[in-house]
Protein backbone atom coordinates (compact mmCIF):
# COMPACT_ATOMS: atom_id res chain seq x y z
CA UNK A 1 0.00 0.00 0.00
CA UNK A 2 2.92 2.27 0.81
CA UNK A 3 4.38 1.56 -2.65
CA UNK A 4 1.07 2.44 -4.19
CA UNK A 5 0.93 5.75 -2.33
CA UNK A 6 4.49 6.54 -3.40
CA UNK A 7 3.64 5.67 -7.00
CA UNK A 8 0.49 7.77 -6.95
CA UNK A 9 2.48 10.66 -5.52
CA UNK A 10 5.25 10.41 -8.09
CA UNK A 11 3.54 9.30 -11.27
CA UNK A 12 -0.02 10.44 -10.83
CA UNK A 13 1.02 13.99 -10.02
CA UNK A 14 3.07 13.83 -13.20
CA UNK A 15 0.05 12.29 -14.88
CA UNK A 16 -2.08 15.23 -13.82
CA UNK A 17 0.30 17.56 -15.56
CA UNK A 18 0.48 15.32 -18.61
CA UNK A 19 -3.30 15.01 -18.83
CA UNK A 20 -3.85 18.69 -18.40
CA UNK A 21 -1.17 19.54 -20.92
CA UNK A 22 -2.75 17.08 -23.33
CA UNK A 23 -6.10 18.75 -22.97
CA UNK A 24 -4.38 22.07 -23.40
CA UNK A 25 -3.11 20.70 -26.69
CA UNK A 26 -6.70 20.28 -27.81
CA UNK A 27 -7.28 23.96 -27.43
CA UNK A 28 -4.64 25.02 -29.88
CA UNK A 29 -4.58 24.41 -33.61
CA UNK A 30 -1.77 24.28 -36.10
CA UNK A 31 -1.43 26.63 -39.00
CA UNK A 32 -0.15 25.37 -42.33
CA UNK A 33 3.50 25.76 -41.33
CA UNK A 34 2.88 23.46 -38.39
CA UNK A 35 3.18 26.22 -35.85
CA UNK A 36 0.73 26.36 -33.02
CA UNK A 37 -2.04 28.89 -33.16
CA UNK A 38 -3.55 30.04 -29.88
CA UNK A 39 -7.01 30.37 -31.42
CA UNK A 40 -9.66 29.49 -28.88
CA UNK A 41 -12.68 31.06 -30.48
CA UNK A 42 -11.30 34.56 -30.76
CA UNK A 43 -9.46 34.69 -34.09
CA UNK A 44 -8.28 38.22 -34.67
CA UNK A 45 -6.70 37.52 -38.09
CA UNK A 46 -2.98 37.33 -37.49
CA UNK A 47 -0.37 38.12 -40.15
CA UNK A 48 -0.69 34.56 -41.48
CA UNK A 49 -4.42 34.72 -42.02
CA UNK A 50 -4.14 34.73 -45.82
CA UNK A 51 -2.33 31.37 -45.82
CA UNK A 52 -3.86 29.83 -42.71
CA UNK A 53 -5.32 26.40 -43.43
CA UNK A 54 -7.73 26.25 -40.53
CA UNK A 55 -11.32 25.66 -41.57
CA UNK A 56 -13.68 28.67 -41.59
CA UNK A 57 -15.59 26.90 -38.83
CA UNK A 58 -12.45 26.84 -36.72
CA UNK A 59 -11.71 30.50 -37.42
CA UNK A 60 -15.01 31.88 -36.38
CA UNK A 61 -16.14 29.52 -33.70
CA UNK A 62 -17.59 31.39 -30.78
CA UNK A 63 -19.23 28.34 -29.33
CA UNK A 64 -18.60 24.63 -29.64
CA UNK A 65 -20.26 21.33 -28.82
CA UNK A 66 -19.32 19.88 -25.45
CA UNK A 67 -19.84 16.32 -24.26
CA UNK A 68 -20.63 15.89 -20.57
CA UNK A 69 -19.12 12.52 -19.54
CA UNK A 70 -21.27 12.37 -16.42
CA UNK A 71 -24.40 12.12 -18.62
CA UNK A 72 -22.96 9.76 -21.23
CA UNK A 73 -24.23 6.16 -21.07
CA UNK A 74 -21.80 4.92 -23.75
CA UNK A 75 -24.58 3.99 -26.17
CA UNK A 76 -22.14 3.76 -29.09
CA UNK A 77 -23.75 6.49 -31.22
CA UNK A 78 -20.76 8.81 -30.92
CA UNK A 79 -18.95 6.32 -33.17
CA UNK A 80 -21.71 6.08 -35.78
CA UNK A 81 -23.55 9.43 -35.91
CA UNK A 82 -20.75 11.94 -36.45
CA UNK A 83 -20.56 13.47 -39.94
CA UNK A 84 -16.82 12.79 -39.96
CA UNK A 85 -15.75 9.42 -41.37
CA UNK A 86 -13.82 8.76 -38.20
CA UNK A 87 -15.79 10.35 -35.40
CA UNK A 88 -14.60 13.63 -33.90
CA UNK A 89 -15.42 12.08 -30.52
CA UNK A 90 -12.48 10.22 -29.01
CA UNK A 91 -11.64 8.58 -25.76
CA UNK A 92 -9.59 10.84 -23.50
CA UNK A 93 -7.54 9.46 -20.64
CA UNK A 94 -7.72 11.61 -17.52
CA UNK A 95 -4.43 10.46 -16.01
CA UNK A 96 -5.05 12.35 -12.79
CA UNK A 97 -7.83 9.88 -11.95
CA UNK A 98 -6.30 6.67 -13.24
CA UNK A 99 -5.30 3.93 -10.80
CA UNK A 100 -2.71 2.58 -13.28
CA UNK A 101 -4.33 -0.80 -12.64
CA UNK A 102 -2.87 -4.09 -13.82
CA UNK A 103 -6.42 -5.43 -14.23
CA UNK A 104 -7.80 -2.50 -16.23
CA UNK A 105 -11.52 -2.73 -16.97
CA UNK A 106 -11.12 -0.34 -19.89
CA UNK A 107 -8.34 -2.33 -21.55
CA UNK A 108 -9.18 -5.98 -20.86
CA UNK A 109 -12.28 -7.96 -21.70
CA UNK A 110 -14.09 -8.99 -18.51
CA UNK A 111 -13.86 -12.76 -19.06
CA UNK A 112 -10.17 -13.25 -19.87
CA UNK A 113 -8.20 -16.18 -18.38
CA UNK A 114 -4.83 -14.43 -18.15
CA UNK A 115 -3.83 -10.78 -18.12
CA UNK A 116 -1.88 -10.15 -21.30
CA UNK A 117 -1.67 -7.78 -24.25
CA UNK A 118 -2.91 -10.47 -26.67
CA UNK A 119 -5.33 -8.91 -29.18
CA UNK A 120 -8.10 -11.34 -28.18
CA UNK A 121 -7.93 -10.05 -24.58
CA UNK A 122 -8.41 -6.41 -25.53
CA UNK A 123 -11.78 -4.74 -25.17
CA UNK A 124 -11.09 -2.04 -27.76
CA UNK A 125 -12.29 -3.15 -31.22
CA UNK A 126 -9.51 -1.22 -32.96
CA UNK A 127 -6.61 -1.94 -30.57
CA UNK A 128 -6.36 1.78 -29.91
CA UNK A 129 -5.20 1.43 -26.30
CA UNK A 130 -1.51 0.92 -25.53
CA UNK A 131 -0.50 -0.72 -22.25
CA UNK A 132 2.92 0.12 -20.84
CA UNK A 133 4.58 -1.35 -17.76
CA UNK A 134 5.68 1.29 -15.24
CA UNK A 135 6.67 -0.63 -12.12
CA UNK A 136 5.10 -3.46 -10.16
CA UNK A 137 2.09 -3.46 -10.09
CA UNK A 138 1.38 -0.35 -12.19
CA UNK A 139 0.62 -0.01 -15.89
CA UNK A 140 -0.05 3.06 -17.97
CA UNK A 141 -2.71 3.14 -20.68
CA UNK A 142 -2.47 5.48 -23.63
CA UNK A 143 -5.02 6.08 -26.38
CA UNK A 144 -3.83 6.05 -29.98
CA UNK A 145 -6.25 8.68 -31.25
CA UNK A 146 -5.75 7.83 -34.89
CA UNK A 147 -7.28 4.42 -34.19
CA UNK A 148 -9.99 5.45 -31.73
CA UNK A 149 -13.49 5.51 -33.23
CA UNK A 150 -15.19 6.86 -30.09
CA UNK A 151 -17.23 3.71 -29.48
CA UNK A 152 -17.05 4.13 -25.70
CA UNK A 153 -16.49 0.44 -24.90
CA UNK A 154 -13.37 1.20 -22.87
CA UNK A 155 -15.19 4.03 -21.11
CA UNK A 156 -17.95 1.66 -20.08
CA UNK A 157 -15.43 -0.91 -18.83
CA UNK A 158 -13.45 1.68 -16.89
CA UNK A 159 -16.61 3.10 -15.31
CA UNK A 160 -17.84 -0.36 -14.30
CA UNK A 161 -14.60 -1.78 -12.87
CA UNK A 162 -12.32 1.23 -12.42
CA UNK A 163 -12.64 4.86 -11.43
CA UNK A 164 -13.84 6.42 -14.67
CA UNK A 165 -10.59 7.93 -15.91
CA UNK A 166 -11.44 7.04 -19.52
CA UNK A 167 -13.97 9.54 -20.85
CA UNK A 168 -15.39 10.46 -24.25
CA UNK A 169 -14.78 14.01 -25.43
CA UNK A 170 -15.48 15.95 -28.63
CA UNK A 171 -12.01 16.69 -29.95
CA UNK A 172 -12.03 20.23 -31.22
CA UNK A 173 -9.02 19.78 -33.46
CA UNK A 174 -11.20 17.33 -35.45
CA UNK A 175 -14.77 18.50 -34.98
CA UNK A 176 -16.02 20.72 -37.84
CA UNK A 177 -18.45 22.37 -35.44
CA UNK A 178 -21.69 21.62 -37.27
CA UNK A 179 -24.48 24.05 -36.49
CA UNK A 180 -26.62 21.07 -35.66
CA UNK A 181 -24.44 18.23 -34.36
CA UNK A 182 -25.86 14.91 -35.57
CA UNK A 183 -24.59 13.15 -32.46
CA UNK A 184 -26.32 15.68 -30.24
CA UNK A 185 -29.54 15.06 -32.16
CA UNK A 186 -29.29 11.33 -31.56
CA UNK A 187 -27.77 11.22 -28.09
CA UNK A 188 -30.23 9.38 -25.79
CA UNK A 189 -28.96 11.09 -22.65
CA UNK A 190 -28.67 14.69 -23.85
CA UNK A 191 -24.97 14.71 -23.05
CA UNK A 192 -24.19 17.32 -25.74
CA UNK A 193 -24.61 21.04 -25.27
CA UNK A 194 -23.40 24.23 -26.90
CA UNK A 195 -20.84 26.10 -24.77
CA UNK A 196 -18.48 29.06 -25.18
CA UNK A 197 -15.42 28.09 -27.21
CA UNK A 198 -13.15 29.33 -24.46
CA UNK A 199 -14.11 26.40 -22.18
CA UNK A 200 -14.83 23.47 -24.49
CA UNK A 201 -14.03 20.53 -22.23
CA UNK A 202 -15.87 19.20 -19.22
CA UNK A 203 -14.13 16.40 -17.38
CA UNK A 204 -15.93 14.20 -14.91
CA UNK A 205 -14.41 13.70 -11.46
CA UNK A 206 -11.61 16.25 -11.70
CA UNK A 207 -11.27 19.77 -10.40
CA UNK A 208 -12.35 21.88 -13.37
CA UNK A 209 -10.32 24.82 -12.09
CA UNK A 210 -7.14 22.94 -12.93
CA UNK A 211 -8.19 22.68 -16.58
CA UNK A 212 -9.22 26.32 -16.82
CA UNK A 213 -5.65 27.40 -16.26
CA UNK A 214 -4.45 25.73 -19.47
* Residue number with CB closer to ligand SF4 (135 or 188): 188
Smallest gap from Cβ 113 to ligand SF4, in A, equals: 21
Residue-wise over 179-201: b if at least 16 C-beta within 10 A, else e? eebebbeebeeebbeeeebebbb
Judged by CB under 6 A, which stretch of 1-9, 40-48, 131-139, 148-156 contacts ligand SF4?
A: 148-156
CA separation for the pair 143, 152 (Å, rounded): 12
Q: Between 104 and 123, how does the x/- string for binding to ligand SF4 read (CB under 6 A)? A: --------------------
Task: Confirm or reject binding of residue 27 to ligand SF4 (CB under 6 A).
Answer: no
- Sign of the CA dihedral with 39 first, then 42, 47, and 49 last: positive
Taking CB under 6 A as the binding criterion, the range among 2-10, 47-55, 70-78, 204-212 that sits at the site for ligand SF4 is: 70-78
Q: For residues 43 and 171, which CB has a smaller minimum distance to ligand SF4 in the complex?
A: 171
Sign of CA dihedral 69, 72, 76, 79: negative
Interatomic CA distance for residues 173 and 53, integer angstroms: 13
Best CA proximity match to 76, nearest among 172, 191, 174, 162: 191
Closer residue to ligand SF4 in complex, CB, 15/157: 157
By CB under 6 A, is residue 156 in contact with ligand SF4?
no
Residues whose CB is less than 8 angstroms from the CB of residue 158 and which lie 6 or more positions away in sequence, other chains included = 104, 105, 106, 164, 165, 166
How far apart are the C-alpha atoms of 127 and 123, rounded to whole Å? 8
- Specify the residue, 159 or 211, whose C-beta has the smaller distance to ligand SF4: 159
Quick check: 98 binds ligand SF4 (CB under 6 A)?
Answer: no
List interacting residues with ligand SF4 (CB under 6 A).
65, 67, 72-75, 77-78, 82-84, 88-89, 91, 124, 126, 128-129, 143, 148-154, 168, 170, 175-178, 181-183, 187-189, 191
Amino acid sequence: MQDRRKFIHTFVRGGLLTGVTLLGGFLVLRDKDGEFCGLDGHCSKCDKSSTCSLSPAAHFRQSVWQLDPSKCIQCGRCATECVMTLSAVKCTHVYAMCGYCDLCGGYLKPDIKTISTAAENQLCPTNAIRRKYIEEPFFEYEIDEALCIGCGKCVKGCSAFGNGSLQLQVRHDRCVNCNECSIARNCPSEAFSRVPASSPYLLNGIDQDSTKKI
